[in-house]
């Protein structure tokens, strides 16, 4: 198990290198010059050249990447071209908001996803099951920005009980978390339901029932644990996605998170800031994936046995 | 040094995080309970919700604190360092106007009239080569130190040497403090509108000692701004807001609004809702699509004025197809400006017949634009050998205020048989292509950084700026008559004569169809109806110190 974890952690190195290279290539080889964007349309060539030299963008692609990588390996990720703040100061100023949004959205989707999914599987083909299946289908099809605006109109404009924007208080996150969670909740419901149904039909469940184990124990002790595997994968993937910043939700509710930070960095051609924020998010996603894999072992002893080999 | 390179050393100097006060305190004060709802049931539901979360916004801000203004801006400034961003950056300007002061300011309703600010008066020398400013005495910086003429001269020299100001400072040589109440600005050549340039917040007066201290200990001036303005900096929460409070030793006296909070909401619809629901009192940068709704709302005032600039088509005369004047003329004849405004800007905007902003010195009132002539345009195209039509690339930046109007232009060109392939580009890429003249037709914007026609036309028309990099003579106009007109107009000190010369230049432009001005953009601020004293301003100078809450009726 330990060997497996170490192996996975070592594999992160080439992944991070690959990501940084691809990002750097995209930022520098696509048209658009940060110096020109900062100086504005009236800038002279001389001024642009001077600023390029100061930003360090006047060197060739390979030299630039090697310079960045050398600094990064020394822990120097540089300062933002535009704000001149150290890049990780900006990332860490924004990250708590994204974390709050992502974790509350995941909690909502896990609670409702599992509860409704199990209920549907246990009451397969009942009226409630059919209605909920229809509802989840509708929910997965609704785009974030639409749900967000509808919630704003109902709760901020009509009822005036929730603020339309901002991130200063916990109640600022109610509508964004619901908006961000709706698609994930619907997916979790569908995944839980189908996974449960598959397990419920298996032989060992029939055996358990045949020997007179109470239905409640059959469902929650025998069936759920096996049915959880794909659901845990889904939650892990969702969390990774959410930590990358739910850009649209952040935009609609004016939450200063990682997503809007990255969009700003792309628009302003702020390479150091984008590199730092994307690498940070990528590292987090990779670690969450690893965490999910480790979690498998605890849920399913068969996998633990696999790891140990 | 212009752009401090960070050597990675950190100092104990206050960072934004450390100086930050708890904004939530202000917010809590701002909150009040609401009642309302149509049915008893709704009231109970709502009351439960209120009890649960302890929050409600008050309809239209009535009952909110009368000493706080929340000012929404659609874009967060990248820095608050004067000169840290381009001289035309309006999002920096909206915030900086309240923090810093310049020597002079533009009158709120007439850009061409200058008002004293930190300079009490000024005099241009008879030879036009220097300007003598009498500096106000007893002005305090936010840290309590007194402003000296040394600070003024230092700030001007700093601005003159900044790369971000090169488009404005070409005629300026240096500034010198001659005694403790006079500063002289020396010019390289006489230039009448030079004092108008100093209204730009990139020429804000800074404390020499403070700037040098920041440079010495590595403090980011852009995140720790300090000036002489009506409001002093309190905190900057990255991506969310900038908080300021009234400066109690401000040289302009007392202000009615004690707390000023700039809130950044990038989605125009959300921002409009925040204003309409009373979460904010001012909103700058509204999308034109959101304005019709807000105009209907009696609780907010939409104040639109003509902005300092205009949108136009630039036709690259170096391009194989567009080097033929007949093709350019045909394109000019195809355009119906009112249609573009109605279809692409929700009817908001004004027709721009000439490449000069109205209301600035040199604007030729007598100019008559040729009317739209679809048949004539088709005939000209046929004469140029394109009777079967032609395909042309039409570029614009990705934002709505460019891409929507340009779609109407595309349709108008289709009517004369030109298939314009619309290429909506990322702004950075668009700027680069324009700078390198790597385009056929582009839809772009230019503004008057100071209210004089010269600041627009000299760089658009003079052959010195053709075929260079930089967004100056975009169409690559090389024409002796155009050169003569812009040069003569620039040197003349007689406004009537200058206007006559600019009229000739605009007629010459129409004759050759280099640039096709389309529409005069609007500069809009939306304000809560309870906030008094707010007026639209073409230069984006919104001084919150001028505003007050209206007494409740």
Give the tens place of pLDDT for each residue, A84-131. Answer: 889 999 999 899 999 999 999 999 999 999 999 999 998 989 999 999
pLDDT at B17 over 50: no
Q: Give the model's pLDDT for residue A246.
A: 79
The helix or strand, by DSSP H or E, that contains position B516, with its residue range, turns out to be strand B515-528
Q: Which of A164-168, B13-17, B331-335, B407-411 has the lowest mean pLDDT?
A: B13-17
Contact A165 B265 (CB under 8 A): yes
Mutate to test the interface with A, among B240, B268, B275, B297 (most CBs of A within 10 A): B240
The helix or strand, by DSSP H or E, that contains position A100, with its residue range, turns out to be helix A87-122
Which residue is associated with the tokens 């488009």? Answer: B167
Name residues whose C-beta falls within 8 Å of residue A236's C-beta, 6 or more positions apart in sequence: A288, A289, A291, A292, A295
Chain centre to alpha carbon of residue B365: 24
Q: Mind telling me how many Å the CA of A120 is from chain B's nearest CA?
A: 29
Name residues whose C-beta falls within 8 Å of residue A158's C-beta, 6 or more positions apart in sequence: none
- Is residue B408 within 8 Å of B340, Cβ to Cβ? yes
- Is residue B250 within 8 Å of B227, Cβ to Cβ? no
Angstrom distance (rounded) from CA A164 to CA B51: 18
* pLDDT tier for residue A38 given thresholds of 50, 70 and 90: confident
- Is residue B506 within 8 Å of B365, Cβ to Cβ? no
* pLDDT tier for residue A62 given thresholds of 50, 70 and 90: very high
With both helix axes pointing from N to C terminus, report the angle between A271-299 and A61-73 in degrees, rounded to the nearest 10: 60
pLDDT at B518 over 70: yes
Q: Give the model's pLDDT for residue B35.
A: 30
Contact A93 B239 (CB under 8 A): yes
Name residues whose C-beta falls within 8 Å of residue B169's C-beta, 6 or more positions apart in sequence: B159, B160, B162, B197
Which residue is associated with the tokens 């000024």? Answer: B122
Q: Which of B51-65, B82-96, B164-178 has the lowest mean pLDDT?
A: B51-65
Average pLDDT over residues A47-53: 85
The conformational region for residue B223 under phi > 0 = left, psi -120 to 50 = alpha, else beta, is alpha
Residues B24-68: tens digit of each pLDDT: 333 333 333 233 333 333 333 333 333 333 333 333 344 457 899
- Of residues B2, B87, B265, nearest to A40 (C-beta): B87
- Average pLDDT along chain B: 85
Average pLDDT over residues A71-80: 91
Q: Mind telling me how many Å the CA of B37 is from chain A's nearest CA?
A: 7
| Half-sphere exposure at residue B60, Cβ-oriented, CA atoms within 13 angstroms | 14
Question: Percentage of residues in chain B with pLDDT exceeding 90?
Answer: 61
- Is residue B418 within 8 Å of B392, Cβ to Cβ? yes
Q: How far is CA B361 from CA B127, B384, B453, in A?
A: 21, 38, 6
pLDDT at A293 over 50: yes
- The first and second tokens of residue B250, run together, are 């401000």
Angstrom distance (rounded) from CA B553 to CA B544: 22
Angstrom distance (rounded) from CA A12 to CA A15: 5
Burial B433-447 (b: 16+ CB within 10 A, else e): bbbebebbbbbbbbb
Neighbours of B429 (CB within 10 A): 18
Angstrom distance (rounded) from CA B223 to CA B245: 16
Residue B132 in 3-state DSSP?
Answer: strand
Computed from CA positions of residues A26, A28, A34, A37, in that sequence, does the dihedral angle turn out positive or negative? negative
**Higher-pLDDT residue of B186, B218:** B186
Main-chain dihedrals φ then ψ at residue B165, nearest 5 degrees: -105, 5
Q: Give the model's pLDDT for residue A245.
A: 65
A-chain CB neighbours of B446 within 8 Å are 41
Contact B78 A40 (CB under 8 A): no
End-to-end CA distance of chain A: 9
B-chain CB neighbours of A264 within 8 Å are 76
Contact B17 A93 (CB under 8 A): yes
Contact B273 A164 (CB under 8 A): yes
- Of residues A40, A94, A169, nearest to B238 (C-beta): A94
* pLDDT tier for residue B93 given thresholds of 50, 70 and 90: very high
- Is residue B473 within 8 Å of B462, Cβ to Cβ? yes
- Average pLDDT along chain A: 88
- Is residue B274 within 8 Å of B528, Cβ to Cβ? no
* pLDDT tier for residue B400 given thresholds of 50, 70 and 90: confident
* pLDDT tier for residue B18 given thresholds of 50, 70 and 90: very low
Residue of A nearest to B431 (CA): A32
- Is residue B83 within 8 Å of B551, Cβ to Cβ? no
- pTM for the full model? 0.82
- Is residue B162 within 8 Å of B105, Cβ to Cβ? no
**Higher-pLDDT residue of B182, A304:** B182
Contact A159 B471 (CB under 8 A): no
Mutate to test the interface with B, among A35, A45, A166 (most CBs of B within 10 A): A166
SS (H, E, C) B98-129: HHCCCCEEECCCCCCCEEECCEEEEEECCCCC
Q: Look up the ipTM and state it.
A: 0.82
Burial bucket for residue B75 (CB in 10 Å: 0-12, 13-18, 19+): middle
* pLDDT tier for residue B89 given thresholds of 50, 70 and 90: confident
Residue of A nearest to B279 (CA): A163
- Of residues B78, B429, B449, nearest to A31 (C-beta): B429
Main-chain dihedrals φ then ψ at residue B395, nearest 5 degrees: -100, 145
Question: Percentage of residues in chain A with pLDDT exceeding 90?
Answer: 38
* pLDDT tier for residue A309 given thresholds of 50, 70 and 90: low
pLDDT at B111 over 90: no
Alpha helices, H only, B439-553: 454-461, 480-491, 495-512
| Highest mean pLDDT: which range of A210-214, B132-136, B253-257 | B132-136
Residues A95-107: tens digit of each pLDDT: 999 999 999 999 9
Contact B270 A268 (CB under 8 A): no
- Of residues A79, A163, A264, nearest to B55 (C-beta): A163
Q: Give the model's pLDDT for residue B16.
A: 33
**Higher-pLDDT residue of A58, A22:** A22
Angstrom distance (rounded) from CA B100 to CA B251: 12
- Of residues A82, A157, A171, nearest to B277 (C-beta): A157
Burial bucket for residue A68 (CB in 10 Å: 0-12, 13-18, 19+): buried
**Higher-pLDDT residue of B102, B269:** B102
Angstrom distance (rounded) from CA A218 to CA B470: 74
B-chain CB neighbours of A36 within 8 Å are 428, 431-432, 435
- Is residue B347 within 8 Å of B341, Cβ to Cβ? yes
pLDDT at A132 over 50: yes
Angstrom distance (rounded) from CA A102 to CA A245: 8
B-chain CB neighbours of A27 within 8 Å are none
- Of residues B6, B24, B237, nearest to A169 (C-beta): B24
B-chain CB neighbours of A54 within 8 Å are 1-3, 5
- Is residue A276 within 8 Å of A21, Cβ to Cβ? no
Angstrom distance (rounded) from CA A165 to CA A194: 37
Which residue is associated with the tokens 């642009």? Answer: A48
Q: Give the model's pLDDT for residue B24.
A: 36
Long-range interactions of B434-438: CB distance < 8 A, separation 24+: B434/A41, B434/B314, B434/B395, B434/B471, B434/B474, B435/A36, B435/B469, B435/B470, B435/B471, B436/B469, B437/B316, B437/B318, B437/B467, B437/B474, B437/B476
Angstrom distance (rounded) from CA B524 to CA A255: 24
Contact B49 A159 (CB under 8 A): yes
- The first and second tokens of residue A84, run together, are 């001149």
Average pLDDT over residues B349-366: 91
Burial bucket for residue B337 (CB in 10 Å: 0-12, 13-18, 19+): buried
3-state helix, strand, coil in chain A (%, to 5): 80, 0, 20
* pLDDT tier for residue A221 given thresholds of 50, 70 and 90: confident
CA angle B156, B160, B161 (to 5 degrees): 120
- Of residues A79, A164, A254, nearest to B277 (C-beta): A164
Angstrom distance (rounded) from CA A71 to CA A69: 5
Q: Give the model's pLDDT for residue A42.
A: 67
* pLDDT tier for residue B552 given thresholds of 50, 70 and 90: low
Q: Which of A208-217, B3-12, B263-272, B491-500 has the lowest mean pLDDT?
A: B3-12
- Is residue B443 within 8 Å of B405, Cβ to Cβ? yes
pLDDT at B337 over 50: yes
Q: Mind telling me how many Å the CA of A219 is from chain B's nearest CA?
A: 35
- Is residue A260 within 8 Å of A95, Cβ to Cβ? no
Q: How far is CA A290 from CA A6, A287, A295, A309, in A?
A: 10, 5, 9, 18
Q: How far is CA B126 from CA B103, B175, B184, B190, B193, in A?
A: 21, 18, 14, 10, 15
Q: Give the model's pLDDT for residue B29.
A: 34
- The first and second tokens of residue A213, run together, are 């184990």
Chains A and B: how many Cβ contacts under 8 Å? 210
């Amino acid at each position: 198990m330990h060997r497996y974890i170490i192996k996975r952690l070592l594999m992160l190195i080439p992944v991070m290198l690959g990501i940084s290279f691809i990002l750097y290539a995209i930022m520098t080889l696509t048209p658009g010059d940060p110096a020109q964007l900062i100086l504005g349309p009236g800038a002279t060539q001389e001024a642009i050249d001077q600023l390029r030299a100061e930003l360090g963008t006047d060197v060739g692609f390979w030299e630039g990447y090697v310079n960045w990588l050398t600094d990064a390996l020394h822990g120097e990720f540089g300062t933002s071209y535009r704000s001149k703040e150290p890049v990780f100061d900006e990332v860490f100023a924004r990250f708590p908001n994204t974390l709050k949004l992502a974790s509350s959205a995941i909690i909502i989707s896990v609670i409702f996803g599992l509860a409704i999914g199990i209920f549907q599987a246990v009451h397969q083909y009942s009226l409630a099951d059919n209605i909920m299946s229809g509802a989840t289908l509708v929910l997965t099809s609704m785009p974030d920005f639409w749900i967000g605006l509808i919630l704003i109109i109902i709760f901020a404009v009509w009822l005036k009980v929730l603020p339309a924007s901002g991130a200063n208080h916990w109640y600022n996150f109610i509508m964004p978390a619901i908006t961000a969670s709706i698609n994930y909740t619907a997916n979790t419901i569908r995944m839980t339901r189908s996974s449960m149904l598959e397990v419920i039909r298996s032989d060992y469940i029939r055996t358990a029932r045949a020997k007179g184990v109470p239905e409640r124990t059959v469902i929650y002790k025998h069936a759920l644990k096996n049915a959880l595997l794909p659901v845990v994968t889904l939650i892990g993937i969702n969390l990774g996605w959410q930590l990358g910043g739910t850009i649209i939700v952040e935009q609609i509710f004016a939450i200063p998170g990682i997503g809007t930070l990255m969009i700003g960095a792309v628009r302003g051609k702020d390479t150091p800031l984008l590199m730092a924020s994307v690498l940070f998010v990528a590292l987090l996603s990779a670690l969450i994936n690893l965490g999910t894999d480790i979690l498998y072992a605890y849920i399913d002893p068969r996998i633990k046995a696999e790891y140990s080999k | 040094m212009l752009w401090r390179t960070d050597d990675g050393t950190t100092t104990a100097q206050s960072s934004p995080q450390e100086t930050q006060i708890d904004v939530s305190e202000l917010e809590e004060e701002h909150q009040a309970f609401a009642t309302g709802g149509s049915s008893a049931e709704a009231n109970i539901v709502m009351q439960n919700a209120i009890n649960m979360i302890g929050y409600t916004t008050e309809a239209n801000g009535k009952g909110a604190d009368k000493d706080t203004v929340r000012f929404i801006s659609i874009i967060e400034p990248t820095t608050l360092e004067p000169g840290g961003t381009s001289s035309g950056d309006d999002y920096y300007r909206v915030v900086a106007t309240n923090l810093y002061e310049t020597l002079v300011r533009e009158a709120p309703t007439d850009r061409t009239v200058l008002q004293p600010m930190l300079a009490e008066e000024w005099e241009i020398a008879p030879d036009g080569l220097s300007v003598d400013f009498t500096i106000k005495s007893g002005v305090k910086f936010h840290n309590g130190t007194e402003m000296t003429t040394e600070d003024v001269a230092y700030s001007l020299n700093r601005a003159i040497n900044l790369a971000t100001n090169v488009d404005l400072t070409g005629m300026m040589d240096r500034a010198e403090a001659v005694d403790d109440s006079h500063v002289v600005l020396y010019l390289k050549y006489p230039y009448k509108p030079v004092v108008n340039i100093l209204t730009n917040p990139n020429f804000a007066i800074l404390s020499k000692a403070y700037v040098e201290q920041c440079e010495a200990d590595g403090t980011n001036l852009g995140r720790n701004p300090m000036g002489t303005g009506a409001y002093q900096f309190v905190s900057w929460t990255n991506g969310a807001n900038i908080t300021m409070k009234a400066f109690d030793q401000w040289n302009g006296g007392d202000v009615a609004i004690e707390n000023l909070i700039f809130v950044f909401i990038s989605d125009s619809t959300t921002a409009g809702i925040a204003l309409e629901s009373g979460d904010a009192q001012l909103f700058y940068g509204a999308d034109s699509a959101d304005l019709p709704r807000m105009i209907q709302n009696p609780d907010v005032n939409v104040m639109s004025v003509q902005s300092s600039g205009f949108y136009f088509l630039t036709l690259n005369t170096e391009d194989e197809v567009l080097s033929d004047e007949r093709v350019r003329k045909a394109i000019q004849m195809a355009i119906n400006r009112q249609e573009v405004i109605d279809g692409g800007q929700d009817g908001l905007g004004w027709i721009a017949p000439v490449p000069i902003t109205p209301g600035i010195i040199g604007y030729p009132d007598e100019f008559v634009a040729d009317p739209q002539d679809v048949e004539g345009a088709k005939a000209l195209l046929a004469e140029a050998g394109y009777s079967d039509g032609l395909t042309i690339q039409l570029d614009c930046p990705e934002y709505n205020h460019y891409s929507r109007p340009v779609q109407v232009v595309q349709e108008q060109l289709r009517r004369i048989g030109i298939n314009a392939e619309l290429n909506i580009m990322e702004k950075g890429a668009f700027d680069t292509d324009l700078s390198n003249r790597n385009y056929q037709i582009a839809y772009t914007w230019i503004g008057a950084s100071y209210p004089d026609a010269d600041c627009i036309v000299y760089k658009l028309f003079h052959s010195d700026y053709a075929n260079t990099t930089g967004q100056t003579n975009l169409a690559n106009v090389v024409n002796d008559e155009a050169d003569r007109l812009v040069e003569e107009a620039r040197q003349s000190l007689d406004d009537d004569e200058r206007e006559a010369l600019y009229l000739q230049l605009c007629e010459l432009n129409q004759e050759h169809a280099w640039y096709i001005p389309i529409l005069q953009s609007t500069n809009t601020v939306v304000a809560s109806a309870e906030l008094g004293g707010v007026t639209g301003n073409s230069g984006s100078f919104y001084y919150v110190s001028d505003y007050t809450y209206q007494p409740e009726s």
